[in-house]
Structure 1
Amino acid sequence: MSFIEPGLFDMIMRLRGSGISDSNVLRAMELVKRSTFVPDDLVPQSYDERPLPIPCGQTMPTPLSIAIMCQSLDVKPSHKVMLIGAGSGYTAAVLAKMCRRVYAVERYRTLVEYAEGRLLKLAAKVVVRHGDGRLGWRGQAPFDRILVSASVRVIPDSLQSQLATGGAIVAVVDGMLVRAVNNGKKLVETPILAMDLPAMEAGKAKSM
């Protein structure tokens, strides 16, 4: 019998009770130990339903926020996914359980190293790059799915241009989580629910 960390079962049940019905998302979040990605002193709080601080003054979103974003993204096994804001690496690891490969962009070099070190332990199908999230990763485009783990006023044109026809971007736009689909001519946005995430910052961090 496999070992289940304290709090993990409760987290999964809490997600189910909060409307997370995608079995792929639930399974991925069951398989990826959140405790691997939080700072050592916060391990006992790994599965709490609250944001947790990580290096560079950043935070790891709540389990429910991550689950909602991943469910809204509707990831398939064949998909190539870009994640804007690698953070701790946890969201990338969850996505990697559901798709072909994840390309994550992170503005803080310290967090690139933080995420890479933890993802390496899982042999996750994730590549992390130090860069400006607003610019995406043009050399790897097009992407079937793009997840922006920060809030924006509008979805940057540079990210829209890297989305495959029929692909989808999920982002928090002016306080509302939206799913925007590229129909070949334009992005068609569908609002999902209100969500609060830190604002996307411009450029690579000059320190940290």
Structure 2
Amino acid sequence: MILKNMLQDDSIRHKGLRRKLVEEVAAKGISDKRVLEAMLKVPRHFFMDSGFLSFAYKDQAFPIGSGQTISQPFTVAFQTQLLQVSPMQKVLEVGTGSGYQAAILMEMGARLYTIERHRELFLAAKALLEEMGYRPSCHYGDGYQGLPPYSPFDRIIVTAGATEVPQALVDQLAPGGRLVIPVGNDYGQTMMLIEKLDDGTIKESAHGNFIFVPLLKGKAK
């Protein structure tokens, strides 16, 4: 899905570093082969500021501007594995950020809708994803509210730490759907899986501790 004019910027060295990163992520417990294959295909260094290119394939988070970060690769893989995305499922991503998570989801065949509250990041991610050949439905807005006109969604993933599970997102989840969201405070969050059963019953389960930038309400300039 990556255009030819960008392939020249994804060298054999980059691919080798990416393979080592995927091996590291797998050794930490990621077993979903589709997640690992997607991570092998997506050049993470395309989503990094030039000053951090040498760190693109370290299993670490790095700044991307507007007070936000590109998530640690293990965290991206962990959330994606927990989401259990199947091809052609309708997925909502809250927090486009750099666009890296969006690219992973689209490599896995998701019909992706993604929303970002920071206009600068929204514009940059949209342009980059399009240049790479990805065509998600990108939106600038309040992730807390989700995207009601496009709901319901089979899967929802939130890439920022929330103080609570937004009811609006639960409402937009289809029966049989899964919502993955970190919930907590500024010092850390618990990764929560919210499942909406076929009869509408909600089931919650906790899956480890992480640290994300906060999920804020409203649109930023």
Q: Determine if the TM-score, normalized by the shorter chain, exceeds 0.5.
A: yes
Whether 2:87 is the aligned partner of 1:80: answer no
> How do 1:41-56 residues align onto structure 2 when only pairs under 5 Å count?
41-56=51-66
Question: 1:168 maps to what in 2?
Answer: 178
Q: Which moved more, 1:40-49 or 1:79-88?
A: 40-49
> How do 1:17-96 residues align onto structure 2 when only pairs under 5 Å count?
17-96=27-106
The offset of 1:67, in angstroms, is: 0.4
Match of 1:3 among 1, 7, 12: 12
Whether 2:213 is the aligned partner of 1:198: answer yes
Given that 2:191 and 2:209 are in contact with CA atoms closer than 8 Å, whether structure 1 keeps it comes out as yes
Given that 2:22 and 2:40 are in contact with CA atoms closer than 8 Å, whether structure 1 keeps it comes out as yes
Given that 1:49 and 1:62 are in contact with CA atoms closer than 8 Å, whether structure 2 keeps it comes out as yes
Unpaired runs of 5+ residues, structure 1, are none
Counterparts of 2:70 and 2:110, CA distance in 1: 24
Deviations, residues 1-47 of structure 1 (Å, cap 9, x unaligned)? x9351421110110110011000100011101001111122111111
Q: Which moved more, 1:118-127 or 1:53-62?
A: 118-127
SS in structure 2 at match of 1:87: coil
Question: 1:178 maps to what in 2?
Answer: 192
Given that 1:131 and 1:204 are in contact with CA atoms closer than 8 Å, whether structure 2 keeps it comes out as yes
TM-score, normalisation: structure 1: 0.95
Counterparts of 2:45 and 2:30, CA distance in 1: 21
Q: Which amino acid aligns with 1:197?
A: F
Match of 1:99 among 67, 86, 109: 109
How many residue pairs align between the two structures?
Answer: 205
Given that 1:180 and 1:187 are in contact with CA atoms closer than 8 Å, whether structure 2 keeps it comes out as yes
> Percent same amino acid among aligned pairs?
33
Q: Root-mean-square deviation (CA), in Å? A: 1.3
Given that 1:76 and 1:98 are in contact with CA atoms closer than 8 Å, whether structure 2 keeps it comes out as yes
